[in-house]
Amino acid sequence: MRGPRLAAMVFTAGVFLPFAARAVDFNFAGTLQLDYLFTPLSLDRPPLGRRPFDGFTQELSLKVAADLSEHVTANVKVCYGCHGFEVGMAYVDYRLGGGVTFRAGRFSPSFGEFGLRHDPGNHRLPDKPLPYDMGRMLHLLEFDRSVLPAPYVDNGVEVLGHHSLGRAVTLDWAAHAVTGLRARSEAPYDIEFTQSRQLPYIDNNARPSVGGRVGLQFRIAPRTDLTVGASTLYGPYDNNANLQYLVAGTDLWLRIGRSNIRAEYLYRRTDMAAGDQARFEQPLGPMGAALPASVAQHRDGWYIEWEQPVLRNLDLIVRWDGLRRSGNVRPNSPLDSEAGISRLTLGTHLTVSRGFRVKAAVEHYTIWGLREQNSQEIAAHLGVVATF
């Protein structure tokens, strides 16, 4: 009950505190998405008996932004989804001169391009790209989630810069220090993303994680823009601060007229607690040698997405995305040491009325390295989203 109670308190404070001050402009916004994920077909074998994610998922977010003065804005956002209520934002921005902003509180550290659009009201397909998936990819549990499930929300501080370099080039940069991703088990195999999102929102190892992003935008022509960026996150995640993670990514966005092409590549290196051969399937080192305290697993993922408006209220979207994992595995793992997913998605995004849209998509999965499972599967999404 602590989660809903805290969320309600934070949201209530966010809504009513602005009224207590004079001359405060505030803005209320929200999103509601209901999506049905249908997994009807396996192309190689009969459908599996256990399909935990065949069904409805709902995401709700409510946000208040209060412009407390010319330089200060407070933002509070509460989300309700598969994990229950969560605080998605609770931070203050202080805008300094020269395009620099200081941010403190609970926020999504700047990383990649999709982070700006993680809200279901802001991305055109029903679900997220595989490197950012947070629960609706097929075989989620076998793969133990994606590269960096979005939104990644954390406590800390961030400094952001936005500068024009002439009329055609803009530079964005951000640097942050935050609590960091975490795992509460004593000998983790990986970051525990569900733990990282749960109360209490405090550090498990008293060592911050750091990171940042640099992006350049080029105005190539009046209706043509190009953005390229690079991001990173680094820090310890276990209770003793002995195991590290490094996440790095590059992103690209190209708009020509009303067409958008987006692409990202993400890589994550994560230390796994070793020291005991019984915890792993493959040898940790040469026979007779001392066992290492940790071994690394590697994950990478990518997407390339093309959004093409075909009518004033209808977009077609094509996306190719993927996720790979490599490294030693635990005994009886459902995965080989090299495993991955490649997915092709065809979707539509129909605006029925301003703020109310229908999303539909068909996804074709090709999976390798998943023992005793299908290598090709089909999934379909049908959902509605309202923004207000």
Partner 1 sequence: MLRALALACAIAATGCAAYQRGDGLSPSVIPPELQADYELFASRCSRCHSLARPLGARVSSAAHWQAYVTRMQRQPGSGISPDDQPGILRFLAWYSANRHREDVR
Quick check: 236 binds partner 1 (CB under 8 A)?
no
* 37: amino acid identity, one letter: L
Which residue intervals of the chain are DSSP H helices?
Answer: 2-20, 140-143, 193-197
Quick check: 213 binds partner 1 (CB under 8 A)?
yes
Quick check: 101 binds partner 1 (CB under 8 A)?
yes
Angle at 180 between CA 175 and CA 184, to 5 degrees: 175
**Beta carbons of 176 and 113 less than 8 angstroms apart:** no
Characterize the bridge pairing of strands 55-67 and 259-273: unpaired
Residue among 43 and 141 whose Cβ is closer to partner 1: 43
Among 1, 56, 70, 186, binds partner 1 (CB under 8 A): 70
Quick check: 17 binds partner 1 (CB under 8 A)?
no
Quick check: 27 binds partner 1 (CB under 8 A)?
yes
How many angstroms separate the most distant Cα atoms in the chain?
Answer: 72
Among 97, 289, 312, 372, binds partner 1 (CB under 8 A): 312
**Beta carbons of 96 and 72 less than 8 angstroms apart:** no
Residue among 73 and 155 whose Cβ is closer to partner 1: 73
- What track of x and - describes contact with partner 1 for positions 158 through 177 (by CB under 8 A)? --x-x-x--x--x-xxx---
- Cα 15 to chain centroid, rounded: 26
The residues that bridge with 104 in the sheet, in sequence order, are: 92, 157
Phi, psi of 10 (to 5 degrees): -65, -40
Among 20, 50, 97, 353, binds partner 1 (CB under 8 A): 353
Characterize the bridge pairing of strands 100-107 and 294-311: unpaired
Quick check: 5 binds partner 1 (CB under 8 A)?
no
Assigned token pair, 352? 């029925």
Quick check: 120 binds partner 1 (CB under 8 A)?
no
- What track of x and - describes contact with partner 1 for positions 265 through 304 (by CB under 8 A)? ----------------------------------------
Assigned token pair, 167? 């009329």
Say how far apart CA 285 and CA 276 lie, in whole Å.
Answer: 11
Which residue, 129, 51, 172, 29, is CA-closest to 343? Answer: 129
Residue among 27 and 282 whose Cβ is closer to partner 1: 27
CB of 331 to partner 1, least distance (A): 36
Residues that bind partner 1 (CB under 8 A): 25, 27-29, 38, 40-41, 65, 67, 70, 73, 93, 95, 99, 101, 110, 113, 116-117, 119, 121-122, 160, 162, 164, 167, 170, 172-174, 213, 215, 217, 219, 223, 225, 227, 229, 253, 255, 311-314, 348, 350-355, 357-358, 360-362, 378, 380, 382, 387-388
